[in-house]
Amino acid sequence: MWKRERCNLFCKRHKNVLGVDQCENEIAYLENRYGKPGNLEFACSDFSELDDSSRYDIIYSRFTMHTISSKTRKKVLKWAHRNLNTHGMFCIEVRGQKNEIFGKGEPVEDEKDAFYSLMTIIGVFLNFENLCDQLNSIGFAIDYAEEKERFAPFNNLDETFIRVIACK
């Protein structure tokens, strides 16, 4: 879900902003709510199947890396590196293994550290150090990386998440 503040922040600072999600209802809602004439567009697509036809200054993945398999994640991280402009930033917020629901729910077969814990959605809980190593090995320089609370407090919940800013 794209909150109004997030849309405003990106749209004020950047010429073209594209929001991608594979959920048709969500994209229809967002287009209706925020997609007025301007520099914000939405696409109903699988972000792991995006092609190499555009270049980006910033790619922001908010709570989506834990919904894909580790194999697909590797593909997406490489895609991000290929398609960012030089000095572009890949910003990731994701559930890691310090997250409060890590280990809860049914394990997912053939996927390490994954559980059907998020209301039947697969949750693949990333290892913080491994994610940073993986980004480094692809060619990113880690500008900022932490795993802690306070990144996404919601009502009375303040869970632990990973936040990474990786630069090309």
Residues that bind ligand SAM (CB under 6 A): 1, 20-23, 26, 46-48, 62-64, 67-68
Residue 95: CB minimum distance to ligand SAM, A: 9
Distance CA 118, CA 94 (A): 13
If the CB atoms of residues 87 and 154 are measured against ligand SAM, the closer one turns out to be 154
Q: Which distant-in-sequence residues (6+ apart) come within 8 Å of 136 by Cβ? A: 142
Q: Helices H, strands E: what count in the chain?
A: 4, 9
Residue 1: CB minimum distance to ligand SAM, A: 4
If the CB atoms of residues 133 and 150 are measured against ligand SAM, the closer one turns out to be 150
Q: Which of 70, 60, 58 is nearest to 130 (CA)?
A: 70
- At how many degrees (to 10) do helices 128-138 and 70-83 cross? 40
Residue 20: CB minimum distance to ligand SAM, A: 6
If the CB atoms of residues 58 and 136 are measured against ligand SAM, the closer one turns out to be 58
